[in-house]
Amino acid sequence: MLKKTVLNSAHRALGARMVDFGGWDMPVNYGSQIEEHHAVRKDCGMFDVSHMCPVDLTGAECRPFLSRLVANDVAKLTVPGKALYSAMLNEAGGVIDDLIIYFLSDTRFRIVVNAGTADKDLAWMRARAAEWQLDVTITPRRDGANALAIIAVQGPNARARVWQVLPQLKAASEGLKPFFAAEVDRYFIASTGYTGEDGFEIMLPATEAEAIWQQLKDAGVAPCGLGARDTLRLEAGMNLYGQDMDESVSPLDAGLAWTVAMKDARDFVGKSALTAAGQQKAFLGLVLLDKGVLRGHQQVITKQGNGEITSGSFSPTLQQSIALARLPLGVAIGDEVEVDIRGKLLKAKVTKPVFARNGKAVI
Amino acid sequence: MSNVPANLKYAASHEWVLLNADGTVTVGITDHAQEALGDLVFVELPEAGAHYAAEKEIAVVESVKAAADVYAPLAGTVTEVNQAAADAPESVNQDAYAAWLFKMTPDNVADLDKLLDAAAYQAVADAA
């Protein structure tokens, strides 16, 4: 039995093509994935991401808990509302999940974790809190009476459309710099996203989600499926858990070194393994020079040895195929490599792992 | 509800087949298949002159989302390919029955009788 978000019937009423996405019945598109992609780059689109799980942490020892739990350093969170992207690692340094931590007060943090990993994440967090004997209460907010829905409204016109529908959020969110959040009564509005565009992720009581979704649609926000979300995040060079990294992959080999705070004395789960292993692979972008489409698991042949594509698709912004790839150390931006696509070796160019943001190609 | 023209034959693997007056057959993917795949961005066609057994991979269609094999609906030799479909993959989304992929001369034209008629294919598409 597939799980459903509170917006499931709204998606079906819009004629969405529904797919099984990690056990969730979710819209992959409402017609044309490419049109939805362009709507976000050029105007404004919205995604139901209520399958992702908000987790509230409360208690006197949230900070010491998070300081040991995740690879990035919550000491960077000094201003209430600030958000931090981090990986949560196992002892071997593999990625259990990637998540966003919002700092609300010293006794209250909100974490948003991936849909398919939420159960294991919660079990892991609770086990660590018990093991370390810290005063932290862990409360998932995806189900039950206090369930939250999450609607991501993204694109250059996202702010204006959100304020049109939810004017009471304008004062609190107008001055939000990227990667901040504000709470306005029962709404939580964050300047975060997974598209490389301006916009908000809004958490709200699940009971209100369908009405707000409809009002946003009436305001001209294009409903967008998880298909467009994937090509948008790929163009923006953002990792997808389960494809670009998982429990067997170090964040240092997945382009996430910038999220790992290794240098100070702080200890965190997985740190000793990362220190011992160091970086073993380069995580880079590829642009296909020949015709075809790059896909996950295709082999990449380089002068330094073979690598593998972790995520690939067609880029609607660049109008050619792009990919994220884990390659041997020593492969450099600008190198020409070959990709094995169904037995044919096609030429690709190595790029930095970001292709388009804010409506434009960046390579 | 996808479009399944009554004048065509179908393979359960979602190809349509039209018997031409000259004894060749024209092959494409069905409306149901293009809809399931979503926006097509790449089409790889066979070489004219190549021979394929029935149900062998003969072409590839790729959408933003996924790559799908196209299978030879019957044994035969490719006589012509539709380069226009490869140059504009979105034409297959726009009209899957106009944007054919290739033509072939069947080894045995009676093999057409083994394919599905429109009603039988509609049942396959509905069950998918």
CATH number, residue A15: 3.30.1360.120
Beta carbons of A177 and A98 less than 8 angstroms apart:
no
Distance of residue A200 Cα from the nearest chain B Cα, in angstroms:
25
Is residue A259 a part of any domain in this protein? no
Is residue A111 a part of any domain in this protein? yes
Which of A33, A293, A313, A344 to mutate to test binding with chain B, by most B CBs within 10 Å of its CB? A293
| In chain A, % of residues over pLDDT 70 | 100
- Name the pLDDT band for B128 (thresholds 50, 70, 90): confident
Q: Name every chain A residue with its beta carbon within 8 A of the beta carbon of B67.
A: 293, 295
What's the confidence (pLDDT) of residue B1? 57
d(CA A110, CA A139): 9
d(CA A189, CA A170): 10
Minimum Cα–Cα distance from A316: chain B residue: B64
Question: Under an 8 A CB cutoff, do A29 and B62 touch?
Answer: no
**Contact map slice: A 216-235 vs B, CB within 8 A:** 227, 231
Which of A110, A125, A140 marks a domain boundary? A140
Positive or negative, the CA dihedral A336, A233, A54, A147 is: negative
Give the number of other CB atoms < 10 A from CB of residue A177. Answer: 9
In this structure, the answer to whether residues A21 and A93 fall within a common structural domain is: no
Mean pLDDT of A272-297: 97
- The pTM score is 0.95
* Residue entry with tokens 């080894």: B107
In this structure, the answer to whether residues A95 and A223 fall within a common structural domain is: no
Is residue A136 a part of any domain in this protein? yes
Kindly report, residue by residue over A64-84, the tens digit of the pLDDT: 999 999 999 999 999 999 999
> What is A272-323 written as a DSSP string?
HHHHHH---EEEEEEEESSSS---TT-EEEETTEEEEEEEEEEETTTTEEEE
Kindly report, residue by residue over A8-26, the tens digit of the pLDDT: 999 999 999 999 998 999 9
In this structure, the answer to whether residues A96 and A37 fall within a common structural domain is: no
What's the confidence (pLDDT) of residue A178? 95
Tokens of A190: 């964050």
3-state secondary structure of A24: strand
- Name the pLDDT band for B16 (thresholds 50, 70, 90): very high
Give the number of other CB atoms < 10 A from CB of residue B105. Answer: 16
In this structure, the answer to whether residues A81 and A70 fall within a common structural domain is: yes
Domain extent at residue A118: 53-140
Which of A105, A140, A175 marks a domain boundary? A140
Kindly report, residue by residue over B54-71, the tens digit of the pLDDT: 999 999 999 998 999 999
Query: Does residue A187 belong to the interface with chain B, where contact is any CB pair within 8 Å?
Result: no
In this structure, the answer to whether residues A17 and A126 fall within a common structural domain is: no
> What is A38-52 written as a DSSP string?
HHHHHS-EEEE-TTS
d(CA A279, CA A152): 34
Distance of residue B88 Cα from the nearest chain A Cα, in angstroms:
12
| In chain B, % of residues over pLDDT 90 | 96
Is residue A242 a part of any domain in this protein? no
Query: Does residue A316 belong to the interface with chain B, where contact is any CB pair within 8 Å?
Result: yes
Query: How many distinct helices (H) and strands (E) make up chain B?
Result: 4, 9
Question: Under an 8 A CB cutoff, do B65 and A28 touch?
Answer: yes
Length in residues, chain A: 363
In this structure, the answer to whether residues A23 and A163 fall within a common structural domain is: yes
Is residue A251 a part of any domain in this protein? no
Distance of residue B23 Cα from the nearest chain A Cα, in angstroms:
32
Kindly report, residue by residue over A118-173, the tens digit of the pLDDT: 999 999 999 999 999 999 999 999 999 999 999 999 999 999 999 999 999 999 99
- Name the pLDDT band for B2 (thresholds 50, 70, 90): confident
Does pLDDT of A259 surpass 90?
A: yes
In this structure, the answer to whether residues A159 and A14 fall within a common structural domain is: yes
| Cross-strand pairs, A302 | A305
In this structure, the answer to whether residues A225 and A288 fall within a common structural domain is: no
Mean pLDDT of A170-197: 97
Instruction: Say which DSSP state B88 is in.
Output: -
Which of A140, A156, A191 marks a domain boundary? A140
Kindly report, residue by residue over A193-243, the tens digit of the pLDDT: 999 999 999 999 999 999 999 999 999 999 999 999 999 999 999 999 999
Minimum Cα–Cα distance from A313: chain B residue: B64
Question: Under an 8 A CB cutoff, do A33 and B39 touch?
Answer: yes
Does pLDDT of A265 surpass 80?
A: yes
In this structure, the answer to whether residues A194 and A335 fall within a common structural domain is: no
Query: Does residue A102 belong to the interface with chain B, where contact is any CB pair within 8 Å?
Result: no
Question: Under an 8 A CB cutoff, do B39 and A28 touch?
Answer: no
What is the overall mean pLDDT for chain B? 96
Mean pLDDT of B26-45: 96
Which of B37, B41, B47, B63 to mutate to test binding with chain A, by most A CBs within 10 Å of its CB? B41
In this structure, the answer to whether residues A38 and A159 fall within a common structural domain is: yes
What's the confidence (pLDDT) of residue B20? 97
H/E stretch holding A130: helix A118-131
d(CA A293, CA A343): 13
In this structure, the answer to whether residues A148 and A126 fall within a common structural domain is: no
Number of domains in chain A: 3
The CATH number assigned to the domain holding A302 equals: 2.40.30.110
Question: Under an 8 A CB cutoff, do A227 and B41 touch?
Answer: no
What's the confidence (pLDDT) of residue B56? 97
Kindly report, residue by residue over A327-357, the tens digit of the pLDDT: 999 999 999 999 999 999 999 999 999 999 9
d(CA B57, CA A273): 46
H/E stretch holding A86: strand A83-89
> What is A224-276 written as a DSSP string?
--HHHHHHHHHHTT---BTTTB-TTS-GGGTT-GGG---SSS---TTHHHHHH
Q: Name every chain B residue with its beta carbon within 8 A of the beta carbon of A227.
A: 38, 64-65
Is residue A248 a part of any domain in this protein? no
Nearest to A44 by CA among A144, A156, A192: A156
d(CA A209, CA A226): 18
d(CA A19, CA B12): 21
Which of A28, A33, A240 to mutate to test binding with chain B, by most B CBs within 10 Å of its CB? A33
Query: Does residue A17 belong to the interface with chain B, where contact is any CB pair within 8 Å?
Result: yes
Query: What ipTM score was computed for the predicted complex, to two decimals?
Result: 0.89
Distance of residue A34 Cα from the nearest chain B Cα, in angstroms:
7
Mean pLDDT of A269-279: 98
The CATH number assigned to the domain holding A101 equals: 3.30.70.1400
What is the overall mean pLDDT for chain A? 97
Is residue A72 a part of any domain in this protein? yes
At CB < 8 Å, which residues of chain B contact A? Answer: 35-36, 38-39, 41-42, 44, 60, 62-65, 67
Is residue A241 a part of any domain in this protein? no
In this structure, the answer to whether residues A339 and A231 fall within a common structural domain is: no
- Name the pLDDT band for B118 (thresholds 50, 70, 90): very high
